[in-house]
Amino acid sequence: MVSAQMRAGDLSGITDNFEIKGRSLWADARKRFMANKAAVASLFILIAIALFSILGEPLAAWTHEEIDFDLIGSVETKGMPSFENGHYFGTDDLARDLFARSAQGTRISLMVGFVGTFIAVLVGTVYGAVAGYVGGRTDAVMMRIVDILSAIPYMFVLILLLVMFGRSMFMIFVGIGMLSWLGMARIVRGQTLSLKHKEYIEAARASGVSSWMIILRHILPNLMGVVTVYTTLLIPDMIMAESFISFLGLGVQEPLTSLGALIAEGAKSIVQGSLWQLYFPLAFFVVTLYAFYFVGDGLRDALDPKDR
Amino acid sequence: MFSYIARRLLVAIPTLLILIVLSAVLMHAAPGGPFNSERKLSPEVIANLTAKYGLDQPLWYQIWAYIRDLVLHFDFGPSFKYKDRTVNDIIAQGFPVTLKYGFWSFIIATVLGIVAGVVAAINHNKATDYLVLTIAIVGAVLPGYVLAPIMVLFFTLYLGWLPGGGWEDGEWRYLVMPVLALATGYIASIARLMRSSMLETLNSNFVRTARAKGLPEWKVITGHVMKPALLPILSYLGPVFVGMVTGSVVIDMYFSTGGIGKSFVDSALNRDYSVMLGITLLVGALTILFNLIVDVLYAFIDPKIRY
């Protein structure tokens, strides 16, 4: 698998090391990531969106659950975005401020994305690393379980769970996270499997490094690249899964909202002509997903050792 | 080959069993039975209902009876909410609808995706390539529930060409938007997949050989590049199929097409557990079956794979 080009790259790295301080994997990756303009721009957009989701509500003239009684009943004609009455993004059908609701919905969507992914990464990495490192029959049994679980239509099971145990943030986090660690487990296992037979692991072992240090210094950092890339690609998946569920009306409960729920409401009200109800949440949704994809792509280019 | 198919089917059985047992245990553990409604029922009525649906039996017996009916009679049991309808009735009503628009989306997604990917790869790094890629990225972040309202806005409200919902036995005007909404995301992913696998194949040694011996470019592509480049697409068709069924939930909600997705959401909102379980099982079984078909096809096309 090691290409001639890679070997040559490694060798030139050796001569460099005599003159300059060796660059770590992460310093190297950071440099490559910074060179990718789309990825860096997306990262800044993501930071901006995160700031909006946190600071948007305190800055808004209204809270996400306050009803503007001046507008109630005449949302289609008076509820459009305006700076005069403080509804920068307009209001929804119940005359609630869409700016605050968008900020709050983005927050929930990002939170589900991060927490769901965190659970998936935690479970998947541990499971995959154990299966790959122990190997043999344990590996076979553990991966067969993953195979069996991946044949389950998980969106249906997730809805089943939400209906049976009630709709709560906790259930959404756990449900989405627990059902999406399978891909991560497969990837981590494959990576661990190929890593543990690498020459540099053997060299480390031969020079008397303890297994703990080998895992910490050699396996984990090499796993981190793949895990990071997959994590960035998993977050938009989680956000999509949550908004799918919210669209069906099975997600977070009112007065809380999420981007999926806002899009669903906006989609229902386009018939009345209040298009701003769809545009603003949709813009946040699409831009967020875009940005995550570009950051993920940039990270993959920066961290994937095969692509150098 | 036959032993391989048999082996794969044998693996499918524990998967389905786990799904059944898991769902039955969940149903049992779920707070509030299916007969909890706004109208208070007297304890006797509830006891009678529980006895009628066999819910007073021990859990293991319920699971056993469910599997027995399913295997022997292909019977998913009665609906907990609609006294005069069985789960089989509900599935039989919704499934053909889903199958119809799902089938067309599947065809359109595969054909358009492959064509777009091939065109992009042949024009690598030219304007056409970037155009296809851009459209593909846009399509990837626009799931059906976002596309559906945009399409209604455009085709129904602005242009007035297509009806905004309904089914009418699948008349084509009612079919267009559901099919497009369901297919777009997959056109995008298939196009991207096809493009990268085409590019990879175009760089391989046998293509250079084919060109070196003087074959015209179109013959190189149809005769040598297409087949190996299509292989990754084939393994992606399994997930596409699952996406069609899952996506039908949104399509049915938005376009009132009345497919299986509507039955699922209705039963979810009604806590009609037996219908939910039946549909989940059906989708699970179809998923397994479809992945099996894809794997077998793979073995036929790829000479490197031997079972």
In chain B, what residues touch A159 (CB-CB under 8 Å)?
264-265, 268, 276
The pLDDT score that the predictor gives to residue B289 is: 82
Greater model confidence, B222 or A95: B222
Whole-angstrom Cα distance, residue B102 to residue B182? 8
Lowest mean pLDDT among A68-72, A237-241, B138-142, B174-178: A68-72
How many helices (DSSP H) and strands (DSSP E) are in chain A?
Answer: 14, 0
Whole-angstrom Cα distance, residue B258 to residue B32? 28
Q: What is the mean pLDDT of the segment spanning B186-195?
A: 88
What letter would DSSP give residue A20? S
Q: List, in sequence order, the alpha helices (H) in A135-179.
A: 136-150, 154-165, 169-178
For chain B, how many residues are written?
307
In chain B, what residues touch A249 (CB-CB under 8 Å)?
269
Whole-angstrom Cα distance, residue A152 to residue B242? 10
To test the contact with chain A by mutation, choose from B16, B145, B292 the residue with the greatest count of A C-beta atoms within 10 A, namely B145
Give, to the nearest 10 degrees, the angle between helix B226-255 and helix B260-270. 50
Contact (CB<8Å) A247/B157: no
Q: What is the mean pLDDT of the segment spanning B95-102?
A: 87
Residue among B146, B271, B280 whose CB faces A156 most closely: B280
Contact (CB<8Å) B30/A165: yes
Lowest mean pLDDT among A228-237, B1-10, B38-47, B166-175: B38-47
The pLDDT score that the predictor gives to residue B32 is: 57
Report the 10 Å Cβ neighbour count for A220. 15
Taking the Cβ of residue A164 and every Cβ of chain B, the question of whether any pair is shorter than 8 Å is answered with yes
Contact (CB<8Å) A164/B153: no
Virtual torsion, Cα A107, A109, A113, A114, nearest 10 deg = 10
Residue among B142, B149, B246 whose CB faces A270 most closely: B149
Whole-angstrom Cα distance, residue B90 to residue A22? 66
Residue among B15, B153, B269 whose CB faces A148 most closely: B15
In chain B, what residues touch A166 (CB-CB under 8 Å)?
31
The ipTM (two decimal places) reads 0.71
Residue among B18, B153, B249 whose CB faces A148 most closely: B18
To test the contact with chain B by mutation, choose from A45, A152, A277 the residue with the greatest count of B C-beta atoms within 10 A, namely A152
Place of tokens 């957009």: A45
Greater model confidence, B41 or B61: B61
Q: List, in sequence order, the alpha helices (H) in chain B.
A: 2-29, 43-52, 59-73, 87-122, 127-140, 144-151, 172-202, 205-212, 217-220, 226-255, 260-270, 273-301
What letter would DSSP give residue A82? -
Residues 166-185 (A) with a CB less than 8 A from some CB of B: 166
The pLDDT score that the predictor gives to residue A5 is: 47
Segment of A3-12, A108-117, B8-17, B24-33 carrying the highest mean pLDDT = A108-117
CB B123 within 8 A of CB B200: no
User: What's the one-letter identity of residue B133?
Assistant: L
Residue among A163, A248, A289 whose CB faces B141 most closely: A289
Min Cα separation B191/chain A (Å)? 17
* Segments in chain A below pLDDT 50: 1-9, 16-17, 307-308
Q: How far is CA B118 from CA B121, B124, B209, B219, B247, in A?
A: 5, 10, 20, 14, 26
Contact (CB<8Å) A289/B30: no
The pLDDT score that the predictor gives to residue A2 is: 44
Taking Cα atoms as reference points, which of B151, B226, B231 lies closest to residue B183? B151
Min Cα separation B170/chain A (Å)? 23
3-state secondary structure labels for all residues of A59-72: HCCCCCCCECCCCC
In chain B, what residues touch A162 (CB-CB under 8 Å)?
268
Contact (CB<8Å) B280/A157: yes
Q: What is the mean pLDDT of the segment spanning B248-269?
A: 82
